[in-house]
Amino acid sequence: MPAKTPHGLKLAGADTPAPARTTPRPPPGDQFARNPGIPLDLDTVLSYRINRSAVERRAATIPTRRTVKKQWQAAWLLRAVTLIDLTTLSGDDTPGTVRRLCAKAMHPLRGDLEHQLGIEPLHITTGAVCVYHALVATAVAALHGSGIPVAAVSTGFPAGLSPMATRVAEIRASVAAGAQEIDIVITRGHVLTGDWEALYDEVRAFRDACGDAHMKAILGTGDLATLTNVARASMVAMMAGADFIKTSTGKEGVNATLPISLVMVRMIRDFYEQTGHAIGYKPAGGIRSAKNALDYLYLMKEELGERWMRPDLFRFGASGLLTDIERQLDHFANGRYAAAHRQPMV
């Protein structure tokens, strides 16, 4: 059991008094082997048919079935900080912007707040920094020695409609520049037309181009029309070797939602039970409040268990989330909310 800080926080546990239902069980040693992919099984893919009403009813219970307060909430929020892929994907990104973002990733909380919470020995950082390919080298240099990986969005992000050779070359270039994680985007048209073989072949080619870099497959769920399509696309991406499945680019009209996330994590659970390979999950787009982040952590704990609440299997794709988490932690430590400008992102 990890030692408590002066405020009674236990980052490693992030427990609540109520027990959680856990289906998957990690192997001995608590580490999962990387997903190598499996042959496309169309019978399995086409067997998924999702009842939207049932999904929405279940998703609506997630924020109400579990709640954490006081030191427990602070512990869960500290855990959430370690799960953030701190992201900048704007047309006006510059090397200076990225270097400041990397500095924030290495020291996501104010020093005085860390001292008040008694968490300096934990050396909390964010899970990764996510940038465009052109700024990968800048981020790698800024994060040197920190252990924080650089994630690059690739394959013609956000539309994913560049020529195939261009998309594969972009992956290889980002890996060569030092990116340890690649966020690829699928061709949504393959899903909308039911061309699952083409989707599998595409994701498999991206996985091969990634080499040792871990691949997060962005499904663009807001463009997929139905939850059945979300489920099938999730399964095909995992069969093709995805290390993570991710909801959105953040550029769609609808990004991460609890119903979509419920479908995707159930697919992760099915794939784990069928193959023994654990796939990570990354909701992205529109997650800006600490309360919303807690809802996703509740979802992960109830559907997959605490092992899926660590950075190797769960990430938030976010840029503004960290600011609100800092404000909530400041309120816990001092009894009042600090102005947002006291927690600047860059």
pLDDT in tens, 234-281: 999 999 999 999 999 999 989 999 999 999 999 999 999 999 999 999
Rounded distance between C-alpha atoms, residue 66 and residue 11, angstroms: 18
Q: Indicate whether 5 pLDDT > 60.
A: no
H or E element: which one contains 131? strand 128-132
Q: Indicate whether 67 pLDDT > 60.
A: yes
The pTM of the full predicted model, rounded to 2 decimals, is 0.90
Angle between helices 321-334 and 70-82 (to 10 degrees): 150
Q: What is the mean pLDDT of residues 321-344?
A: 85
Active site positions, annotated: 183, 246, 282
Q: Is residue 17 part of a domain?
A: no
Stronger pLDDT, 17 or 132, i.e. the higher one: 132
Q: What is the mean pLDDT of residues 284-298?
A: 95
pLDDT in the model for residue 33 = 93
Q: Is residue 139 part of a domain?
A: yes
Q: What is the mean pLDDT of residues 172-178?
A: 98
pLDDT in the model for residue 319 = 84
Per DSSP, the residues of 251-307 read -SSS---HHHHHHHHHHHHHHHHHHS---EEE-BSS--SHHHHHHHHHHHHHHT-GG
Q: Given the structure tokens 């079935």, which residue do they identify?
A: 65
- pLDDT tens digit string along 8-65? 454 433 443 333 444 455 554 578 999 999 999 999 999 999 999 999 999 999 998 8
Q: Indicate whether 111 pLDDT > 60.
A: yes
Q: What is the mean pLDDT of residues 119-138?
A: 97
Confidence band, pLDDT 50/70/90 cuts, at residue 346: low
Residue 297 has, within 13 A of its CA and on its CB side, a CA count of 29
- Residue 153 is encoded by which pair of tokens? 């969005």
Q: Is residue 6 part of a domain?
A: no
Q: Is residue 51 part of a domain?
A: yes
| Listed residue (121, 125, 85) closest to 104, CA to CA | 125
Give the structural domain span for 244.
Answer: 42-342
Q: Indicate whether 345 pLDDT > 80.
A: no
φ/ψ of residue 256, rounded to 5: -70, 130
- pLDDT tens digit string along 79-109? 999 999 999 999 999 999 999 999 999 999 9
Q: Is residue 37 part of a domain?
A: no
Q: What is the mean pLDDT of residues 301-318?
A: 96
Burial class (CB in 10 A: 0-12, 13-18, 19+), 236: buried
pLDDT in the model for residue 17 = 35
* Domain at 111, CATH number: 3.20.20.70
Q: Is residue 3 part of a domain?
A: no
Q: Indicate whether 3 pLDDT > 70.
A: no
Number of domains in the chain: 1
Tell me what percent of the residues of the chain surpass a pLDDT of 70: 90
Q: Is residue 236 part of a domain?
A: yes
Question: Would you report the helix, strand and coil content of the chain in percent, each value rounded to 5?
Answer: 50, 10, 40
Mean pLDDT of the chain: 91
pLDDT in the model for residue 330 = 93
Confidence band, pLDDT 50/70/90 cuts, at residue 2: very low
Q: Is residue 320 part of a domain?
A: yes
